[in-house]
Each structure stands twice: as structure tokens, then as C-alpha cells.
Amino acid sequence: MTLSGFPLTHRGSWQLLANPGSKSDDIAAMGILVVDDLPGNRVLLQHILEATGFQNVLLAESADQAFGVLGMNGAKTEPGVVDLVLMDVMMPGMDGIEACRRIKASPDLCDTPIMMVTALSEVESLEDAFAAGAVDYITKPINQVELHARVRSVLALKQAMDERRHRERELERREKELLEVTRLLEETNERLRHLSTLDGLTGISNRRRVMEYMEQEWRRSARDRTWLSVLMIDVDFFKNYNDSCGHQAGDDCLWMVANCLKRNLNRPADMVGRYGGEEFIAVLPETPLDGAVNVADMARESIVSLNIPHPDSAVDPRVTITIGVASCMPGGDSTISDLITGADRALYEGKAAGRNRVAAGQATAAPGKPSEEGEAMVPDAQAAPDHD
Ligand code: GH3
Ligand code: MG
Ligand code: MG
């Protein structure tokens, strides 16, 4: 067969494959299904297509057989085997136009291009063919040059669409992946943020968290002119406890004490944390000294009620705590450090006075505080006598 105007390779094919590895190479490998009831037409189309470099030409002699190749009729066919259908219009049984409509109606095949092959006398039926979803047509008798050019351009378009769809799917997949990674990262960050505020041994807030909270509440109290109280809490004779019960039992004891304190200091605004070693600190916003002393004493009693045996305490056969309390209405020159020092001093006095007790320290208010809160809380009062 001579194909005038097109150079032949030494194997007799057009130079469709002249550039190996190129897009043309991919196009040559795409699948073409020829559907025609006449064996002569099928063979002729196959011959021309193969001679012009297309390597995957499949044949079907009826619409039904074509459906089978395309994986319709429930038949199992590899997806993407057919990239283009060349469909004869006139066929016994189901004609090409109805077959085209059915193929286009299938969700898996709606993007597979269909080119109608029609006799010149049937050209009027092309309107129906396009309405049925055909992308192009070619008239019989087949012109080889025209067939090659049309098939190639439809396949190039199909290839471009496939690539675009592939890229879109890939983008979607990556976007989903990115969203998932971002979500996991946020979750992990949140967990880390939370963990970085907790004390590793006891699980209650750590010193940093309590100090941050105290600064925040200090500013609020200064703004609202309210009392802010601090409790410094220390386990009595804890060195002896460790020495007689072992360090592991000491750790367990600290856990129990910490969590008991947390249960007792349970107003939403209260916060208790581990200050270091066997010392704890609690911040009680909007709480004047007398209220804080009451809270502290309940906490002290509940530690006694834990009934943790202490074999070597000079005050009680059970584990006990001593608490120093100080209160402040922030403002003027007063600082957080003054407040903590006040509670610490009270704690020291509580220890000196015999332990297992609450010692009330200073209640300091800057000038100008509301008069109704002024009576009980004397500004710069000296350390009050030990509670308990
Ligand atoms: P005081 O009644 O005067 O408070 O006496 P104390 O023995 O409790 O005080 P001291 O400061 O002499 O000893 C505190 C002890 O707490 C010493 C240390 O071994 C123990 N300790 C501090 N941190 C931990 C801890 O994380 N785990 C354990 N098991 N023990 C700790
Ligand atoms: Mg102690
Ligand atoms: Mg101590």
C-alpha cells in the first residue's frame, strides 16, 4: 500500500514513531477498537492503522461484542484498554449510533472518544451520532491520510485529557495528604503544648504553668481590684519518708498528695502545681486571706485522710503537709515575688510551729482598694498567727 505524501520508515510504517520516548510513542501504544460487521472493512481499517504505526488495534463485529471488549455486559476488561472506538454506523442488530449512546452513558466510558465510520450516503445520520456523543466521523471509502490524521488528533486529545485528569487526581490526593498531615501536626502540637504544662511525676500543672497563670491572674486582679491568694504547700518530713519507705514509694506518695490537692482546689479558677521536690503551689484568684486559709485547711485535712502511713514523722503516723498562705490585692509596688515570699515565710513559720498546719501570712493591698474588703485584710499586715 502506498501512502503518498508521507515518508515511510524502513519497516514500511509512517514516521509516527520517529521520536522514541515522545508523546507520539505513547499515542502509538494507545488502544483502538474497530467495530464493523463486515470482515473486509475491519481488516482494512486494522491494516491501515497498523501500517501507520498504531500498535494496539482490537476488532469487534457487533455492538454487543464491542461492549464485551469495553467491559460493559459485566465482562471483566482491564480499564484503559481502549482509548478510541471506530464505530461503523450501519450494523445489523444494534446500529452504531445506539451503541455510541450506550457507551457514552456508561460512567466508566463516558470519556472514551468514539469516531463514527460512515458511508457518504449516511451522512445525514451524523447529527444523531453527534447527539449520541460521537466526537468525529470519517467517511467510507476510507482515505488513509485522513484516517491517520483524525485518529491521531483524537488520541492526542484523549491523551492530554487523561494526563490532565491524572494530574488533577494527583493534586487532590496530595491536598488530602497535606490536610491530614496538617491535622496530625496540629494535634501533636496541641498534645505537646499540653504536656509541656504538666509535671512528669504527678501529672498536675508544672511550675512554669502555674507561674504563667499567676502572672495572668495578677494582672486581672490588679485591673479588677480583687484579692489573689497563694498557698505554698510542703510535705512534712518527706526526707524521712523517702529514707524509710524508699524513693519509689516517695514518688507514689507525691503523686497521691498532688492529686488529692488538685481534687480539693477545684474551683474553676483555682490552680495547683508542683513547685519543685515535695513542694506544691496553689493560686486562688478572687480569694481573700480568710477564704484561702479555709481552703488550705480543708486540703490539709484531706491529705491526713489519705491515711498514707509515715513510719518516721515526728508529728503524725500519717503523711501530713504544712501550708503557708499569703494574699494580695495587686497594685502599687507589689510584685508576684513579694506574694510568693509572703507565702513561703508563712510556710516556714508553720513548720517552726510544729507542722501539719496552715499558717496565714500577709494580706497586702495597694492603696485605693474598695472599703468593704478593707477591714479584714489590713494592708501590709504583719504575719498573722498560725492557723490550726
Ligand atoms: P520538712 O518537714 O521540714 O519539710 O522536712 P522534709 O524532710 O520534708 O524536707 P527536706 O527539704 O529536708 O527534704 C525534702 C525531701 O524531698 C528530700 C528529697 O529527697 C525529697 N524529694 C524531693 N523531690 C522528690 C521526688 O521527686 N521524689 C521523691 N521520692 N523524693 C523527693
Ligand atoms: Mg518537706
Ligand atoms: Mg521542702
Per-residue pLDDT of the chain (388 residues; tens, 9 = 90+): 333 333 333 333 444 433 444 566 789 999 999 999 999 999 999 999 999 999 999 999 999 999 999 999 776 656 668 999 999 999 999 999 999 999 999 998 999 999 999 987 777 788 999 999 999 999 999 999 999 999 999 999 999 999 999 999 999 999 999 999 999 999 999 999 988 999 999 999 999 999 999 999 999 999 999 999 999 999 999 999 999 999 999 999 999 999 999 999 989 999 999 999 999 999 999 999 999 999 999 999 999 999 999 999 999 999 999 999 999 999 888 999 999 999 999 999 999 999 999 999 988 886 654 433 433 333 333 333 333 3
Q: What is the pLDDT of residue 78?
A: 62
- Does 234 contact ligand 1 (Cβ within 6 A)? yes
State the CB neighbour count (10 A cutoff) for residue 268.
6
| Distance (Å) from CA 342 to ligand 1 centroid | 21
Q: Is 355 in the pocket of ligand 1 (CB under 6 A)?
A: yes
| Beta carbons within 8 Å of 291's beta carbon, 6+ residues apart | 229, 284
Task: Give alpha helix (H) positions in 322-375.
Answer: 336-352
How high is the pLDDT of residue 349?
98
Q: Whose CA is nearest to atom 15 of ligand 1?
A: 239
Pairing of strands 386-387, 228-235: unpaired
| Residue 14 alpha carbon to ligand 1 centre in Å | 92
- Quote the pLDDT of residue 367: 60
Q: Are strands 114-119 and 84-88 parallel, antiparallel or unpaired?
A: parallel
Side chain identity at 280, as an amino acid letter?
F
Cell of 148: 491517520
Q: Does domain 2-168 have CATH number 3.40.50.2300?
A: yes
Q: How far is the CA of 19 from the centre of ligand 3 (A)?
A: 84
Q: What is the rounded distance in angstroms from the CA atom of residue 85 to the CA atom of residue 321?
A: 88
Torsion of CA 229, 235, 239, 242, to 10 degrees: -130
Buried b or exposed e, range 162-190, using 16+ CB within 10 angstroms? eeeeeeeeeeeeeeeeeeeeeeeeeeeee
- Would you please indicate which residues are annotated as catalytic (active-site) residues? 278
Question: Please, where in the chain does CATH 3.30.70.270 lie?
Answer: 207-383
CATH of domain 207-383: 3.30.70.270
Mutate to test the pocket of ligand 1, among 202, 236, 239, 308 (most ligand atoms within 8 A of CB): 239
The pLDDT assigned to 22 comes to 57
Report the separation in Å between the CA atom of 300 and the middle of ligand 2, taken as the mean of its atom positions. Answer: 14
CA end-to-end span of the chain: 116
Q: Whose CA is nearest to atom 18 of ligand 1?
A: 239
| Domain limits, CATH 3.40.50.2300, in the chain | 2-168
- Pairing of β 31-35 and β 56-60: parallel
Closest ligand to the CA of 248: 1
